[in-house]
């Protein structure tokens, strides 16, 4: 067990020395994914390993975050001022840059079970050491790899006069690891747990709270504080909005929601807010897109388009900023309780969250409590908020605030009346509107969490991944809480047979990881009235050439076809659950980009999965980007579909330049396109006055030398071509 009082350090090198003294010259370091990593401590350990070849350092983690860096001269000019302004003193992890450059020493290694998407596709060491694991198995797999040091960044606060630490963003694996580490201690394995306090980490309550004595070592000095990695919101594309709009109509009022980070998640949040706050406008968006005409029966059966009267409960491994916006919009408000009796009565409508005499009467009628109360029942009634905290049980009597002692017997009229007058609480206690495993988002998201009043912060429970991501261990309560669950995830590709490709390529290259996607998809098939919804952009662009993300077959899958459920592209909803192969193929063909439908249709016929006479109906043969733009443009002009619905860290100039530089990158991606673009740029005339602020932002307002003049011409040409100036 960790000692009663942890050893405290203000010097990081002394802390490193103590870690090595306790576990020896082989340090197998487990650190949380995302922003829960104690970067200064990790860097100090890594530098020690580089200086001492006799020390073996093995790092086990996921989602190693790195500040963005440009790969071209223009990207660097764009990103460097942005990174300096937005990321501040965020401390990069030195092992990441060394791994990327092939400079990891022989006595150091890094193994991750989930990559920051797309960041390590060409990093040999990371690709070779990737651990393919479900998120719920991560703690087990870390122990299997010999974990002997657990290091975690934490928040610190005094609560009710006592010192507490909080896992903040990342209790999800740590809570699962702690009992495994204690078992390893009992078996004689040297183990050390280390907390590094960072005042920038939001203090989260409930399951994330921990006594300092839970750690062996605590490193705490303001000199080691650093800004959390703030992942900036990226713009939401037209296709993303159309996908998000359809997904929002499949979310049932009074149900459960899981969403992820990125443009598709932001689109769902914005569409849910429109559904809640501007319902007539929301219905018009659906009508204009033909969603009700095409999928109205499905929406009526499993979703809805009315405002969220009962509200939603969030159960998501990742607490993204969008959930906070849903809470602020009055949508994320269906509280759940970690009490089976209470949750069952709430689900049945026997009681409500407000407490009054009918609550007490319902508990008696349901046999939850007996008329003659004992101390255990009184303690339970106080814990859940039905009795107020001032009620006391002593020797068969109740002491009530403002009243004399009365017998603890509800069958006595005088006792019952006294309890109604002086003993009841106002609302049930302990309600949670969101269970999450970890959080990640922009800097403003973290600031909002730090500033959230305690009473509101306590409605959010950061907890173990095994509690969020699956049912086993506490199935009855999980089923009661997760009513009408909609587990919404993104995927890269879907085969015509309904399998999904979300984490890697058939070549073996890992893009991200399985994470919790398989868990949530499988759970959707187990929970009553739950659905798995995979969001898919119908195409992707490699340079100037589009490719279909709906394919006939693929040599790697993340979600097997026997778990197929709902797939949404910008062109429609495919309900695949329980359908035969022929019907699955037809449904997916109907939501594919029409440029690729003929070859997909031919592949299905070639393998005799469709009748040779089958033709794609005319109403599904106009799935084109032009149709998506035609739907989006008028609504964008009305401000209903903003580029950044949750706000942005980009300035107005940067928003325009981001679009222009992406367009330029596409044009320069081929030799022919590159030559034509450069020729067009060099032929452009003087810069209009409206272009000066954009050129100034890239330090190209007064170019020196041929290279800068060419860059200036390229940017100016794209600004003009895009209609930005």
What pLDDT shows up at residue 334?
98
Question: Would the pLDDT of 500 be above 80?
Answer: yes
| Number of structural domains found in the chain | 4
Task: Tell me the mean pLDDT in the region 265-269.
Answer: 97
| DSSP assigned state of 192 | E
Task: Tell me the mean pLDDT in the region 49-62.
Answer: 97
Nearest to 142 by CA among 220, 33, 34: 33
What are φ and ψ of residue 323, in 5° steps? -65, -35
Same domain for 107 and 156, yes or no, is: yes
Residues in CB range of 172: below 8 A, 6 or more apart: 32, 135, 317, 437, 438, 462, 463, 464, 465, 468
Helix residue spans in 533-613 (DSSP H): 581-590, 597-606
> Considering the domain boundaries, does residue 640 fall inside one?
no
Question: Would the pLDDT of 309 be above 70?
Answer: yes
- Mean pLDDT, all residues of the chain: 94
Question: Would the pLDDT of 683 be above 60?
Answer: no
Give the N- to C-terminal CA distance of the chain in Å, as an integer: 66
Radius of gyration over every alpha carbon of the chain, rounded to an integer in angstroms: 28
Q: Which residues of 119-138 are buried (b: 16+ CB within 10 A; e: fewer)?
A: bbbebebbeebbbebbbbbb
What pLDDT shows up at residue 359?
96
Same domain for 122 and 246, yes or no, is: no
Last residue of a domain, one of 375, 391, 422: 422
> Considering the domain boundaries, does residue 464 fall inside one?
yes
What pLDDT shows up at residue 705?
87
Distance CA 177, CA 97 (A): 28
Distance CA 704, CA 682 (A): 16
Same domain for 548 and 561, yes or no, is: yes
Question: Would the pLDDT of 295 be above 60?
Answer: yes
Last residue of a domain, one of 422, 441, 456: 422
What pLDDT shows up at residue 402?
66
Same domain for 158 and 267, yes or no, is: no
Confidence of residue 591 (pLDDT cuts 50, 70, 90): very high
pLDDT digits (tens, 9 = 90+) for 88-117: 999 999 999 999 999 999 999 999 999 999
Nearest to 244 by CA among 215, 217, 264: 264
pLDDT digits (tens, 9 = 90+) for 126-163: 999 999 999 999 999 999 999 999 999 999 999 999 99
Q: What percent of the chain has pLDDT over 90?
A: 89
Same domain for 78 and 185, yes or no, is: yes
Distance CA 288, CA 270 (A): 17
What pLDDT shows up at residue 722?
85
Least trusted range by pLDDT, from 197-206, 470-479, 548-557: 470-479
- Determine contact, residues 78/665, Cβ cutoff 8 Å: no
> Considering the domain boundaries, does residue 315 fall inside one?
yes
Residues in CB range of 593: below 8 A, 6 or more apart: 538, 539, 546, 548, 550, 571, 623, 624, 625
What pLDDT shows up at residue 665?
85
| DSSP assigned state of 408 | S
What pLDDT shows up at residue 3?
58
Same domain for 32 and 167, yes or no, is: yes
Same domain for 122 and 265, yes or no, is: no
Question: Would the pLDDT of 723 be above 90?
Answer: no
Q: Which domain holds residue 218?
A: 7-224
Task: Tell me the mean pLDDT in the region 243-266.
Answer: 96
Confidence of residue 678 (pLDDT cuts 50, 70, 90): low
pLDDT digits (tens, 9 = 90+) for 406-446: 999 999 999 999 999 999 999 999 999 999 999 999 999 99
pLDDT digits (tens, 9 = 90+) for 366-389: 999 999 999 999 999 999 999 999
Look up the CATH number of the domain holding residue 580. Answer: 3.40.1080.20
What pLDDT shows up at residue 541?
86
Question: Would the pLDDT of 625 be above 60?
Answer: yes
> Considering the domain boundaries, does residue 637 fall inside one?
no
Question: Would the pLDDT of 403 be above 90?
Answer: no
Same domain for 369 and 388, yes or no, is: yes
Cα angle vertex 234, ends 228, 237, to 5°? 160
Confidence of residue 664 (pLDDT cuts 50, 70, 90): confident
Task: Tell me the mean pLDDT in the region 342-360.
Answer: 95
Least trusted range by pLDDT, from 45-49, 474-478, 629-633: 474-478
> Considering the domain boundaries, does residue 688 fall inside one?
yes
Nearest to 143 by CA among 126, 152, 129, 131: 131
> Considering the domain boundaries, does residue 643 fall inside one?
no
Concatenating the DSSP letter of every residue in 47-80 gives: HHHHH-TT-EEEEEES--------SSHHHHHHHH
Least trusted range by pLDDT, from 142-156, 542-556, 666-680: 666-680
Same domain for 217 and 246, yes or no, is: no
Same domain for 508 and 603, yes or no, is: yes
**Residues facing residue 156 across a β-bridge:** 165
Q: How many CA atoms lie within 13 A of 594 on its CB side?
A: 16
What pLDDT shows up at residue 322?
97
Q: Please tell me which residue, 286 or 674, carries the higher pLDDT value.
A: 286
> Considering the domain boundaries, does residue 179 fall inside one?
yes
> Considering the domain boundaries, does residue 427 fall inside one?
no
What pLDDT shows up at residue 107?
98
Question: Would the pLDDT of 397 be above 70?
Answer: yes
Distance CA 239, CA 541 (A): 14
Same domain for 550 and 688, yes or no, is: no
Same domain for 331 and 345, yes or no, is: no
What pLDDT shows up at residue 668?
77
Nearest to 638 by CA among 268, 282, 223: 282
Look up the CATH number of the domain holding residue 220. Answer: 3.40.1080.10
The total of other beta-carbon atoms located within 10 Å of residue 610's CB is 19
Cα angle vertex 228, ends 129, 433, to 5°? 95
What pLDDT shows up at residue 680?
60
- Determine contact, residues 323/332, Cβ cutoff 8 Å: yes
- Determine contact, residues 10/41, Cβ cutoff 8 Å: no
Task: Tell me the mean pLDDT in the region 276-285.
Answer: 98
Question: Would the pLDDT of 33 be above 80?
Answer: yes
Last residue of a domain, one of 381, 403, 422: 422
Least trusted range by pLDDT, from 343-347, 348-352, 667-671: 667-671
């Amino acid at each position: 067990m960790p000692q009663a009082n942890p050893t405290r350090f203000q010097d990081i090198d002394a802390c490193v020395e103590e870690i090595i003294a306790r576990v020896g010259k082989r340090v197998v370091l487990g650190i949380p994914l995302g922003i829960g990593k104690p970067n200064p401590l990790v860097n100090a350990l890594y530098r020690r390993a580089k200086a001492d070849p006799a020390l073996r350092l093995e790092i086990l983690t996921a989602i190693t975050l790195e500040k963005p860096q440009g790969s071209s001269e223009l990207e660097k000019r764009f990103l460097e001022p942005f990174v300096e302004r937005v990321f501040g003193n965020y401390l990069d992890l030195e092992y990441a840059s060394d791994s990327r450059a092939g400079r990891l020493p022989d006595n150091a290694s890094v193994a991750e079970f989930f990559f920051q998407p797309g960041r390590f596709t060409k990093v040999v060491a990371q690709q070779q050491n990737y651990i393919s694991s479900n998120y719920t198995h991560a703690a087990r797999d870390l122990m299997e790899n010999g974990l002997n040091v657990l290091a975690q960044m934490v928040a610190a606060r005094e609560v009710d006069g006592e010192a507490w630490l909080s896992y903040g963003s990342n209790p999800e694996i740590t809570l699962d690891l702690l009992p495994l580490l204690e078992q390893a201690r009992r078996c004689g394995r040297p183990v050390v747990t280390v907390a590094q306090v960072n005042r920038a980490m939001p203090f989260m309550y409930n399951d994330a709270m921990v006594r300092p004595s839970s750690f062996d070592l605590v490193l705490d000095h303001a000199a080691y504080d650093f800004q959390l990695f703030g992942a900036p919101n990226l713009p939401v594309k037209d296709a993303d909005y159309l996908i998000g709009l359809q997904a929002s109509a499949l979310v049932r009022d009074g149900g459960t929601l899981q969403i992820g980070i990125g443009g598709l998640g932001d689109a769902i949040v914005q569409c849910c807010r429109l559904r809640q706050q501007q319902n007539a406008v929301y219905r018009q968006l659906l009508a204009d897109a033909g969603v009700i005409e095409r999928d109205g029966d499905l929406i009526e059966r499993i979703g809805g388009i009315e405002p969220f009267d009962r509200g939603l409960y969030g159960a998501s491994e990742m607490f993204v900023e969008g959930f906070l916006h849903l809470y602020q919009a009055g949508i994320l408000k269906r509280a759940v309780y970690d009490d089976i009796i209470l949750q069952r009565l709430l689900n049945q409508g026997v009681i409500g969250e407000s407490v009054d005499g009918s609550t007490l009467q319902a508990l008696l009628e349901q046999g939850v409590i007996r008329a003659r109360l004992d101390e255990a029942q009184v303690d339970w009634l106080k814990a859940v908020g039905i009795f107020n905290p001032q009620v006391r049980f002593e020797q068969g009597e109740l002491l009530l605030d403002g009243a004399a002692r009365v017998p603890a017997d509800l069958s006595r009229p005088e006792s019952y009346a006294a309890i109604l007058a002086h003993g009841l609480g106002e609302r049930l206690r302990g309600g949670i509107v969101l269970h999450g495993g970890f959080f990640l988002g922009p800097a403003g998201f973290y600031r909002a969490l730090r500033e959230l009043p305690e009473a509101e912060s306590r409605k959010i429970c950061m907890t173990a991944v095994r509690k969020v991501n699956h049912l086993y261990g506490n199935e009855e309560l999980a089923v009661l809480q997760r009513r009408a669950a909609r587990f919404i995830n993104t995927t890269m590709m879907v085969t015509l047979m309904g399998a999904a490709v979300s984490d890697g390529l058939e070549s073996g290259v890992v893009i991200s990881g399985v994470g919790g996607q398989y868990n949530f998809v499988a759970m959707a098939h187990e929970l009553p009235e739950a659905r798995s919804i995979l969001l898919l952009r119908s195409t992707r662009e490699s340079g100037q050439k589009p490719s279909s993300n709906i394919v006939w077959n693929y040599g790697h899958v993340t979600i097997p076809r026997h778990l197929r459920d709902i797939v949404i592209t910008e062109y429609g909803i495919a309900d695949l659950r329980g359908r035969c192969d022929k019907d699955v193929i037809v449904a997916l063909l109907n939501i594919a980009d029409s440029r690729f439908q003929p070859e997909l249709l031919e592949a299905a016929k070639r393998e005799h999965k469709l009748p040779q006479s089958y033709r794609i109906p005319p109403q599904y043969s106009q799935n084109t980007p032009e149709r998506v733009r035609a739907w989006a443009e008028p609504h964008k002009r009305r401000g209903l579909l903003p580029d950044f619905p949750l706000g942005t860290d980009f300035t107005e100039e940067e928003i325009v330049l981001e679009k222009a530089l992406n367009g330029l990158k596409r044009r320069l991606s081929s030799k022919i396109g590159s030559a034509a673009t450069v020729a067009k740029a060099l032929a452009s005339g003087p810069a209009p006055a409206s272009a000066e602020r954009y050129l100034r932002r890239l330090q190209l307002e007064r170019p020196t030398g041929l290279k800068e003049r060419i860059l200036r011409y390229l940017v100016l040409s794209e600004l003009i071509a895009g209609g930005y100036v």
